[in-house]
């Protein structure tokens, strides 16, 4: 019999998170308590925000259902390892759809993982090779979690940095936000040595660590990290503008298009237009537009129009 109430509640919660209905008698037997104690424990979980549904009958059952808010989860060892490995695999390659929220989740999970489970996660990842798309550089998940924790905790961050020309430097920054472009991760931060805002490619960051010194966030010039990154990238490379019309509403296209490429503007109820600029090769932009999954028409520039026509012809020949 479990006499420690908190421990018993955690055990009960772990059972209820299994997607099935638990008869009261079975829960009482599993926990080594009376059915009355089970009912009291169920009431305690409800008070803590867990939506436990009860069914009527001679031997009423209980199950955990979806609620309005996300209560804390209780994971066993195998579940925790599986989630950590999955998050690490996705976060290490800036795959479209895996954004800052995923990195924050990974940072929170690894913070509470026991050392024995951390070792299992690292061993599993070292023994597997993910099949990824795109040309984004691979990043050590530990690097992302350190950066994400520093951003969330508003702690100054030190790291080694390798510039595009290969030169090495040490940086002391106030990290503001992590931004994923769909191929790469970038850190937007205030560089204390240069007394200015900077963007850093995360795959070029080495040996990051939080100094423990807290800071009050500064106001970002653009007010939005993604917009600041877009402008920063545009300043560093030759860019070109483009205009593309989609045969789908703006709110349908927006989630499937990286924000830094541009914001869809409604043309009418069933179509939208994207006006943006990029320094990426037109071949990459062509594929990215096709991946949106809706009919589109390129209005400019001529180079992009030609690339789309060439790719369409090539794909047509491939099926003939």
pLDDT in tens, 5-17: 777 887 888 788 7
By C-alpha distance, which of 150, 235, 229, 220 is closest to 184?
229
CA 249, CA 266: separation in Å to the nearest integer?
Answer: 7
The CA-to-CA distance between both ends of the chain, in Å, stands at: 71
Residue 118 has pLDDT above 80, yes or no: no
**Confidence label for 64 from pLDDT (cuts 50, 70 and 90):** confident
Measured at the alpha carbon of residue 98, what is the angle toward residues 256 and 269, in degrees to the nearest 5?
A: 20
Which tokens hold the place of 314? 């090539």
By C-alpha distance, which of 28, 39, 41 is closest to 1?
28
Position with higher pLDDT, 223 vs 154: 154
| pLDDT given for residue 298 in this prediction | 94
Residue 107 has pLDDT above 60, yes or no: yes
Strand partners for 274: 244
């Amino acid at each position: 019999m479990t006499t420690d109430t908190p421990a018993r509640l955690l055990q009960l919660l772990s059972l209820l998170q299994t997607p099935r209905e638990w008869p009261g008698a079975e829960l009482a037997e599993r926990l080594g308590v009376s059915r009355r104690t089970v009912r009291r424990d169920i009431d305690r979980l409800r008070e803590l925000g867990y939506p436990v549904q009860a069914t009527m009958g001679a031997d009423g059952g209980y199950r955990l259902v979806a609620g309005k808010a996300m209560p804390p989860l209780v994971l066993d060892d195998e579940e925790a390892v599986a989630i950590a490995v999955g998050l690490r695999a996705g976060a290490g390659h800036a795959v479209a759809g895996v954004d800052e929220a995923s990195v924050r989740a990974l940072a929170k999970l690894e913070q509470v993982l026991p050392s024995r489970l951390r070792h299992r996660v690292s061993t599993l990842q070292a023994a597997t090779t993910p099949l990824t798309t795109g040309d984004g550089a691979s990043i050590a998940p530990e690097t992302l979690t350190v950066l994400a924790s520093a951003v969330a905790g508003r702690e100054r961050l030190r790291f080694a940095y390798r510039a595009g020309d290969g030169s090495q430097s040490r940086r002391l920054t106030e990290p503001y936000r992590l931004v994923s472009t769909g191929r790469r991760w970038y850190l937007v931060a205030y560089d204390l040595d240069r007394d200015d805002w900077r963007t850093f490619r995360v795959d070029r960051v080495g040996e990051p660590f939080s100094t423990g010194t807290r800071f009050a966030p500064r106001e970002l010039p653009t007010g939005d990290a993604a917009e600041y990154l877009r402008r920063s990238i545009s300043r560093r490379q030759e860019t070109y503008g483009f205009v593309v019309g989609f045969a789908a509403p703006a709110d349908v296209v927006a989630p499937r298009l990286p924000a830094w490429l541009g914001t869809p503007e409604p043309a009418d109820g069933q179509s939208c237009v994207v006006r943006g600029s990029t320094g990426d090769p037109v071949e990459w932009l062509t594929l990215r537009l096709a991946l949106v999954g809706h009919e589109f028409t390129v209005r400019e520039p001529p180079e992009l129009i030609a690339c789309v026509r060439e790719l369409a012809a090539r794909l047509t020949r491939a099926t003939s």
